[in-house]
Amino acid sequence: MGADRDTAVGKMLGTKLLVGIGLISYSAYLWHQPMFALVRQRTDSELDHPTAIVLVLLSLALAYFTWRFVEIPFRSKRLFVRREIFGLSLAGSLAVLVVGASGYLTDGFSSRYPEQIARMETAEMGIVDGCDAKDTIEPCVLGNANMRPSIAILGDSHAEALSSQLSNDLAAAGASALLYYGSFCAPLIDVGTSRPDRNPRCRKFMTDTIERIAQDPSISAVVLIAEWTYYTTGRRWENPDLTLYADLRTTKTSVAENAAVVERGLGRTLAALKSAHKKIVVVETVPEYEARVGKFLVKNYRMTGFLDMGDKTVDSRRYAERNSGIAAIFTSLQVDPDVEVVDTFRIFCPDGRCRAFEGDRSFYSDSNHLSKAGSAVLAPRIVSALHLRAR
């Protein structure tokens, strides 16, 4: 279109190679989509260039055979009449509709693997009932509702994920706590970002909250819980999307500055709490993964018959790499007599390889937030660090 066959463009488009590609192009389009989708599902990551090239070539090869042995025969009036073509098309459409509806109604044919395996994929965070205090000065109350809160728990969504189990364990110990939290909200004085989708209100909210708690004589202990590595690196492991943080001393934001901002913010926060004679517990980042744990486990089981994180397994080396920006800070805190550190690596990775699940229970609801099962492992250690005994 738009070129005479005698022109240079017309001659180029009329070559056997381009004409051949045109003939099989629709079949190639139909083949490439499921192939790329299935490979992405199997690898749970973006395709590298060599793999993509192989899939493109395979799509073209399959497209040729489809054109040669499906399209051409169907276009032959000697083999099929119009009524047969429409009849076969209707039957095929109905078959696809039935299979699709069955898959939808059975939650993706969930019976194709055991029920205990399916539960892995639907692991949820244990958020305490009725707690909707995100980014507000009105906290949730955890633990024994008849006791006056003597503990403040500050954090981001990782603190929220622990809230239900912490509430149960605090209640068993006869204690009560106030929970202040926000999404993407480091529990630090004067640390924040201007990104509108990363909670820019957190900086003022958490600064005001920490200063108010420091002045509250009824609060004797403070627990800081966060995905610390997110703030030092600016991203989650499985997501390249970058967030840069700043404080009053920041002149230019960068990934390197993120770690410095967190270190300064934690220093200010601890100094404020120490001067108020609060007991301080800092909970390290739980081991994070490059994939949604439950979904990856089910997918790997479907492909191999084994429950395993495969190449997504986190060991001491990978944990150290991910936590390099915060490790030195936590090391210094472990020798600070005024701060107790909850070492999550020792809890979840006792033999140097991190446990993402136990039995039929995934410890994670996604790639980094603990599920109810994971919270049941960590929350008692936090309560223990507060020196509260279950009764």
Give the end of a domain, one of 51, 86, 120.
120
Distance CA(76)–CA(114), nearest Å, equals: 48
210 in the same domain as 146 = yes
Contact 25, 60 (CB under 8 A): no
Distance CA(310)–CA(113), nearest Å, equals: 19
Report whether pLDDT(336) > 50.
yes
Of 220, 213, 224, the closest CA to residue 162 belongs to: 224
Q: What is the percent of the chain with per-residue pLDDT over 70, rounded to a whole number?
A: 91
Contact 182, 199 (CB under 8 A): yes
| Least confidently predicted of 136-145, 156-165, 361-370 | 136-145
Q: If you average pLDDT over residues 61-71, what whole number do you get?
A: 86
212 in the same domain as 197 = yes
Other Cβ atoms closer than 10 A to 74 = 13
Contact 349, 288 (CB under 8 A): no
Report whether pLDDT(150) > 90.
yes
At a CB cut-off of 8 Å and minimum separation 6, what does 307 contact? 117, 120, 297, 300, 301, 357
pLDDT band (50, 70, 90) for residue 19 = confident
54 in the same domain as 192 = no
Contact 367, 288 (CB under 8 A): yes
Q: What is the mean pLDDT of the chain?
A: 88
> What is the pLDDT at residue 47?
77
91 in the same domain as 167 = no
230 in the same domain as 92 = no
Containing domain of residue 24, as a range? 8-120
pLDDT band (50, 70, 90) for residue 391 = very low
User: Is residue 300 included in any domain, yes or no?
Assistant: yes
> What is the pLDDT at residue 110?
65
pLDDT band (50, 70, 90) for residue 132 = low
List phi, psi (to 5°) of 280: -120, 130
Report whether pLDDT(135) > 90.
no
Report whether pLDDT(42) > 90.
no
254 in the same domain as 213 = yes
Q: If you average pLDDT over residues 149-177, what whole number do you get?
A: 95
366 in the same domain as 296 = yes
User: Is residue 3 included in any domain, yes or no?
Assistant: no
> What is the pLDDT at residue 377?
97
Report whether pLDDT(117) > 80.
no
pLDDT band (50, 70, 90) for residue 1 = low
102 in the same domain as 163 = no
Distance CA(231)–CA(228), nearest Å, equals: 5
Contact 128, 120 (CB under 8 A): no
320 in the same domain as 255 = yes
Report whether pLDDT(389) > 70.
no
| Least confidently predicted of 114-123, 165-174, 219-228 | 114-123
Distance CA(261)–CA(246), nearest Å, equals: 6
The tokens for 391 are 């009764």
Distance CA(387)–CA(1), nearest Å, equals: 80
Give the end of a domain, one of 88, 120, 152.
120
Of 140, 156, 365, 346, the closest CA to residue 243 belongs to: 156
**How many residues in the chain?**
391
> What is the pLDDT at residue 153?
97
Q: If you average pLDDT over residues 206-227, what whole number do you get?
A: 96
Distance CA(289)–CA(292), nearest Å, equals: 7
> What is the pLDDT at residue 133?
56
pTM for this prediction? 0.79
Other Cβ atoms closer than 10 A to 179 = 26
The tokens for 11 are 């001659």
> What is the pLDDT at residue 92?
83
Identify which has the larger pLDDT, 366 or 20: 366
Give the end of a domain, one of 103, 120, 137.
120
Alpha carbon dihedral 127, 131, 135, 136, in 10-degree steps, equals -160
Contact 246, 202 (CB under 8 A): no
User: Is residue 2 included in any domain, yes or no?
Assistant: no
Distance CA(285)–CA(365), nearest Å, equals: 15
181 in the same domain as 326 = yes
Distance CA(54)–CA(44), nearest Å, equals: 18
The total number of structural domains that make up the chain: 2
51 in the same domain as 116 = yes
User: Is residue 390 included in any domain, yes or no?
Assistant: no
Burial 337-361 (b: 16+ CB within 10 A, else e): eebbbbebbebbbeeebbbbbeebb
